Amino acid sequence: MPKQNGLFKLKGTLQGKCYYQLNGQYIVRKAVGPSRERINTDPAFSNVKSNNQEFAAASKLSKALRQGLGDNAMRFKDSYMAGRLTGCCRKIIQKGSGLVGQREANLHNHPIALIGFQLKKELPLEQIYTAKPKTKSHNSRHQIDINIPKSNSNHHNQKPINATHFQLTAALSLVSNLQWESNENAYQPTHSELHTLNITNQTQPLLCKIEHTHIHMPLHMPTTVELQNTIAITVWLGITYLKIDDGNYVTYQSPKAMACIAVQ
């Protein structure tokens, strides 16, 4: 084992290393935390166990949201999107009912934590495109309508110089509640058959320089099954810019943005 050098000998743990005395010698080694088995069985680590269980639920909820976004997650995300989204989901779980470590993961408990979430943090949607979208549900939530009453050139704050058109992408996904299942020792969706179902709709390329009124993007649910209140619907809106090159539309890689605009 490595010995401590220097005049001052330490005892205890500091910056991930453990300092102690053994057989008259001062030893330093890498600090090792408790084993998984000890965390799961030792009452002294009950708080750690509870936090681990809810963090696992947050990770699972975050993964479901990303799966529900489908290709849109890859198109619009930044490198840290998954981690940021997991942190958001952790806040949602903390608002859930039940014992700590077994609280339900229900988006309806804290929707404001998700609304406004940017897939790319450095390029918020509302800073690129300032037109105000409105969402409304119909037919027992089986249709979600996104409507933008007015859009004109003044709403494009970061349009590329040579961009002639913009295109809006609307996305919808279903997310089931996650509940703690003691017999499985894990969180599971209450409606696995609906979990992560999704649909995407896009506008045609729209000219940036003219005014558009009542841009309408309907999102029809990809199922006819009754949607109980243990199913949340996340609604997302994104924007990309395009130019015409040799008669074809070419999409700019930046700026582009997508954000959650509603939880139904």
Residue with tokens 């996104």: 146
pLDDT for res 108: 98
Quote the tokens at residue 76: 């619009």
| Over residues 6-29, mean pLDDT | 59
Cβ–Cβ under 8 Å, residues 202 and 172:
no
Cβ–Cβ under 8 Å, residues 174 and 250:
no
Cβ–Cβ under 8 Å, residues 263 and 232:
yes
CA separation for the pair 91, 83 (Å, rounded): 13
- Convert the pLDDT of each residue in 238-263 to its tens digit: 999 999 999 999 999 999 999 999 99
Between the alpha carbon of residue 71 and those of residues 77, 207, 229, the distances in Å are 10, 25, 27
| Over residues 195-199, mean pLDDT | 97
| Over residues 93-97, mean pLDDT | 95
Cβ–Cβ under 8 Å, residues 166 and 157:
no
Which run of H or E residues covers position 65?
A: helix 46-69
Domain ranges of the chain: 1-32, 40-263
CA separation for the pair 238, 207 (Å, rounded): 16
Whether residue 41 has pLDDT greater than 90: no
CA separation for the pair 27, 256 (Å, rounded): 54
How many beta carbons lie within 10 A of that of residue 103, not counting itself?
23
Cβ–Cβ under 8 Å, residues 167 and 161:
no
Of the candidates 40, 87, 78, 253, the one whose C-alpha atom is nearest the C-alpha of residue 163 is 253
pTM of the model as a whole: 0.84
CA separation for the pair 207, 242 (Å, rounded): 9
CA separation for the pair 188, 104 (Å, rounded): 10
Q: CA neighbours within 13 Å on the CB side: how many for 196?
A: 15
- Convert the pLDDT of each residue in 44-83 to its tens digit: 556 777 888 999 999 999 999 999 999 999 999 999 999 9
Quote the tokens at residue 215: 């841009």
CA separation for the pair 201, 167 (Å, rounded): 11
